[in-house]
Structure 1
């Protein structure tokens, strides 16, 4: 029973990792490899979005991204 509860909690933390990648790092779930993987994925997606947003402000490249 406790194993299922832990798995459900970690699944919830994995979902949160894609929305706010740093929140699972503040909990005790940060040591779980499953959660770590999804935190890294969430961070990668965030960084890609930031880079695309920065490139969009450059006039030559911005039109291609719109």
Structure 2
């Protein structure tokens, strides 16, 4: 018999942590502001999660900035990568605003802030 796959488990959020740090989770997706949650709420699991996602997105955006410098092919990759980056930032902001700790597509599994 085939075993049924278990659905991925989502982390249970502490409602107080989420409500107190929701704004810092939102700020984490706006460029270098991913640092704000780390400075203001260093013990918050919610803020740290979104700070990590924002940091990875920021690094990806910086890399896209360098790719953009390559004539023709770099412009195309940079353009579409920029659109993807904008969409990912909006997704992250919406997740944080709704109190969710969901990973971003493609880059969400990268963990640089422990």
Using the size of structure 2 for normalisation, the TM-score is: 0.48
Residue 48 of structure 1 is aligned with which of 42, 45, 60? Answer: 60
Residue 12 of structure 1 is aligned with which of 23, 37, 52? Answer: 23
What displacement does 1:58 show?
Answer: 1.4
Using the size of structure 1 for normalisation, the TM-score is: 0.76
Between 1 and 2, higher relative CO (CA 8 Å, sep ≥ 6) is seen in: 2
What RMSD, in angstroms, separates the aligned Cα atoms of the two structures? 1.8
After superposing on structure 2, the runs of 4+ consecutive aligned residues of structure 1 that deviate more than 6 Å are none
What displacement does 1:36 show?
Answer: 0.7
Structure 1 residue runs without a partner (length 5+): none
**Which residue does the alignment assign to 1:21?**
34
Aligned to 1:12, the other structure's residue is in SS state helix
Higher helix share: 1
